Amino acid sequence: MNFITIIPVFLPIFLGALMFKLNIQDRKKREKYVSAVLGATLLLTIITNFIYFDQRFTLMTFSAGLDFSFKADSVAVLFSSIFAIIFLLVGIYSFEYIKHDGDDNRFFAFYIATLGALIGIAYADNLFTMYLFYEMLSILSFALVMHTKTKESIAAAKKYIYYSLFGAALGLIGIFYFYSIPSAKGFEAGGVLLQAGLSQESLALVPVFVIIAVIGFGCKAGMFPLHGWLPTAHPLAPAPASSVLSGVITKAGIIAIIRVVFFTVGADIIRGSIAQYVILGLCIITIFIGSMLAYKENVLKKRLAYSTVSQVSYVIFGLFILNEVAAIGALLQVVFHALAKNTLFLCAGAIIYKTHKTKCSELIGMGKQMPKTFACFTIAGLSLVGIPFFAGFVSKWYIATGALLIDSKPLSTIAFIGVCVLMISALLTAGYLLVVSAKAFFNENDTKKNAVKKVENKEANNTMLIPIGILTCAIIYFGIRPTELIDFISTVVQSFGM
């Protein structure tokens, strides 16, 4: 029965493609179809994660030991659950949003199939399988970015796919090198290279290829220097696509980095090497420039895109500290960033959908017209800043604590600089998110341009508000009661073999 592992992967890909054949024109029938597929994928993911946990299934074997195989290990359980839950919520939100934004069938066909590719990356049991689904994800999500087919959206989609393919090519260079090493074909807790009997000369090359692979896969996660696609693609994609691009699809890069660092190479080889120094340095640069550019940006969705550049690099920074405390913080950041950023983009979509306002400077006084939307926006913003009793505080606390545990120089100096940048980034995050909320609720402006002459209810309908509300409640819940999630993520980090 191990073949059950592949059903959550291929079912949405097949049923997404089937939508082109069915061409469902009736809106209600289409919504029922999409809901059924997303709900079934979530259910099958849960079944696989609990009943078929840690069971490998090989679909086929190619020459040279290339296995097309899958396994629901602890890392796969964490990421596949995030993907399936959030795609269901954002999919429900999309029913209202997307009906005036192009071909509904095309959007939902690619949207559903994208979920299958993401779960395929999570369940992949080796670099070969992971890479195939990684490339598939880029192609499918490319269609989401260019959904409206405007000149600008097509240009943004091209930029996204060029960056994605170049990043994947760098990742492939690393994969070619790792596959050239005997016994380094699959994933093993703690990495397989130390068990492969490498010479010291071969070990000396490993950090170089780790840098190449991490920079390549870091493109999808928005890490400098391959971060340029985010602020271009997000503003021009439909809000549901922007939401999953920022909050979910960026995590595909994180999975790939985890698989390379902890399940192929091993933390012991990387610790203290040039790879650790270079990637930590790139993360610090990314966190700072992302926050600074977000602070200066006036277009709301572009501001949120720059925020993603900064916030996802918190995860990579925590992972490359290479101790358990920081790694727990990094994986908590994966969860909490997904919750907060999806909330923020869905709120931004609701604002644009109801008011057609796209710039932060246009939102003065709007909190009175859309109080529920801006309340959720504010809570998600508080989480990203790292305010106590909101989810983001927990992850940032663990990352900073883990960084300060390093006692070897000069690595401890780099880690300390990183923590200082995290603090600066938190202040900038407050500046570019909480100021929007403050002006929406409290700032009175009597100029003809921005004054709100009368209070008018412009809240989106429940189809859009309920998914936003669920994500917001999760942010509050995990901020107050994170213990169970921390315990689970601690078991995931133990499989890293640090």
Distance CA 262, CA 264 (A): 6
**Can you give the pLDDT at residue 217?**
95
**Can you give the pLDDT at residue 446?**
44
Q: How far is CA 96 from CA 43, 234, 355, in A?
A: 24, 19, 15
Kindly report, residue by residue over 431-442, the tens digit of the pLDDT: 999 999 998 888
Kindly report, residue by residue over 368-399, the tens digit of the pLDDT: 889 999 999 999 999 999 999 999 999 999 99
Kindly report, residue by residue over 464-474, the tens digit of the pLDDT: 999 999 999 99
Residue 250 and residue 222 in contact, taking contact as beta carbons nearer than 8 Å: yes
Q: Is pLDDT larger for residue 345 or for residue 408?
A: 345
With 70 as the cut, is the pLDDT of residue 106 above it?
yes
**Can you give the pLDDT at residue 448?**
47
pTM comes to 0.93
Kindly report, residue by residue over 115-157, the tens digit of the pLDDT: 999 999 999 999 999 999 999 999 999 999 988 888 888 999 9
Kindly report, residue by residue over 250-307, the tens digit of the pLDDT: 999 999 999 999 999 988 889 989 999 999 999 999 999 999 999 999 999 999 999 9
Distance CA 397, CA 390 (A): 12
With 60 as the cut, is the pLDDT of residue 447 above it?
no
Contacts of 160 (CB under 8 A, 6+ apart): 141, 142, 145, 229, 232, 233
**Can you give the pLDDT at residue 64?**
66
Segments making up each domain of the chain, as ranges = 2-494
Q: Tell me the pLDDT band of 452, cut-offs 50, 70 and 90.
A: very low
Distance CA 50, CA 44 (A): 10
- The CB density around residue 50, as the number of other CB atoms within 10 Å, is 10
CA 369 to the chain's CA centroid? 31
Looking up tokens 């040279």, which residue turns up?
64
Q: Is pLDDT larger for residue 114 or for residue 27?
A: 114
Q: What percent of the chain has pLDDT over 90?
A: 65
With 60 as the cut, is the pLDDT of residue 102 above it?
no
Q: Tell me the pLDDT band of 1, cut-offs 50, 70 and 90.
A: low
Q: What is the mean pLDDT of the chain?
A: 90
Q: 182: which 2 tokens?
A: 């005997």
Q: Is pLDDT larger for residue 270 or for residue 185?
A: 270
- The CB density around residue 166, as the number of other CB atoms within 10 Å, is 13
**Half-sphere CA count of 24, side-chain side, radius 13 A:** 19
Q: Is pLDDT larger for residue 192 or for residue 223?
A: 223
What is the average pLDDT across 155-164? 92
Q: 50: which 2 tokens?
A: 């609990």
Looking up tokens 């796919």, which residue turns up?
161
Burial class from Cβ neighbours inside 10 Å (0-12, 13-18, 19+) for residue 86 reads buried
With 60 as the cut, is the pLDDT of residue 58 above it?
yes
With 60 as the cut, is the pLDDT of residue 451 above it?
no
Q: Which long-range contacts (CB under 8 A, 24 or more apart) does 184-188 make?
A: 184/264, 185/65, 185/66, 185/67, 185/126, 185/128, 186/67, 186/69, 186/125, 186/126, 187/71, 187/73, 187/125, 187/126, 187/127, 187/259, 187/263, 187/264, 188/263
CA 39 to the chain's CA centroid? 21
Q: Assign 3-class secondary structure to 117-172.
A: HHHHHHHECCHHHHHHHHHHHHHHHHHHHCCCCCHHHHHHHHHHHHHHHHHHHHHH
**Can you give the pLDDT at residue 100?**
66
- Phi and psi at 71, nearest 5°, equal -160, 130
